[in-house]
């Protein structure tokens, strides 16, 4: 009987922890919906994209390529490259959720995002608690973001391109990730990884298929690992 209130508390804690980040996700979702319409997707296709894919950066890259009539193989490859970071997130969370059943692992992997991963890892490193409470916390953070993303992206599709450019909603996208980055840097290794990845992302931004993102992630991991071993 005591498990249910405790799980609800953990779920609520996850929802509250990610709430400030959702402020930045709102314009991000609006942009994703607006971009889908601008790229020429039909209303049904634009509405279905967010729940089916649920990957903001990859969605924006895909609709941009669709709008420029890129080849389907390029569109798919770009999305896969951008989303390779989720393999790293899953590997990091695998020891934490090792004993979860296959169904929970399946929908948990669907819900994982940059933001929910970041807030969950920070809590898991700070608080030692049972698996059920950890998963409840993760769900609280993930579902809150999922709902926000779906509502705002659908709203973006509905209003189309009627949002004034002066609002500069696209400026909110890097702010979301910057807000996640700094609280996650706890030591010299983290700082070296962040600086290296940022430098590599700028240096290799011109690579095709958004490969610069993958190169930057690999460079950051290698640099952080080398620093940590020192």
* Per-residue confidence band for 1, with pLDDT thresholds at 50, 70 and 90: very low
**pTM > 0.75: yes or no:** no
Q: What is the mean pLDDT of residues 94-107?
A: 90
How would you class 62 by CB atoms within 10 Å of its CB: exposed for 0-12, middle for 13-18, buried for 19 or more?
buried
Which of 77, 71, 124 minimizes the C-alpha distance to 96? Answer: 124
What is the residue whose two structure tokens read 């890129």?
Answer: 70
> Residue 3: its pLDDT value, please?
46
Whole-angstrom Cα distance, residue 17 to residue 136? 13
Contact 179, 21 (CB under 8 A): yes
* Structural tokens at position 96: 């934490």
> Residue 37: its pLDDT value, please?
84
Percent of the chain with pLDDT over 90: 21
Whole-angstrom Cα distance, residue 139 to residue 133? 10
> Residue 168: its pLDDT value, please?
62
Name the residue with higher pLDDT: 31 or 165.
Answer: 31
Give, for 210, the enclosing helix (H) or strand (E). none
Contact 228, 189 (CB under 8 A): yes
């Amino acid at each position: 009987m005591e498990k249910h209130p405790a799980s609800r508390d953990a779920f609520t804690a996850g929802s509250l922890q990610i709430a400030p980040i959702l402020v930045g996700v709102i314009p991000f979702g609006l942009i994703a919906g607006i971009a889908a319409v601008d790229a020429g997707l039909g209303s049904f296709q634009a509405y279905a994209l967010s729940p089916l894919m649920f990957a903001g950066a990859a969605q924006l890259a895909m609709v941009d390529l669709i709008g420029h009539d890129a080849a389907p193989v390029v569109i798919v490859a770009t999305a896969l490259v951008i989303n390779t970071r989720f393999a790293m997130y899953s590997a990091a969370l695998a020891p934490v959720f090792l004993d979860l059943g296959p169904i929970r692992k399946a929908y948990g992997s669907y819900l994982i995002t940059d933001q929910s991963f970041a807030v969950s890892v920070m809590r898991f490193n700070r608080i030692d608690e049972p698996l059920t409470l950890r998963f409840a916390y993760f769900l609280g953070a993930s579902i809150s973001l999922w709902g926000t993303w779906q509502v705002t992206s659908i709203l973006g599709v509905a209003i189309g391109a009627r949002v004034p450019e002066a609002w500069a909603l696209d400026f909110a996208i890097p702010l979301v990730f910057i807000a996640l980055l700094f609280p996650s840097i706890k030591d010299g290794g983290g700082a070296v990884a962040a600086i290296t990845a940022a430098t590599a992302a700028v240096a290799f931004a011109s690579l095709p298929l958004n490969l610069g993102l993958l190169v930057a992630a690999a460079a950051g991991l290698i640099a952080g690992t080398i620093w940590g071993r020192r």
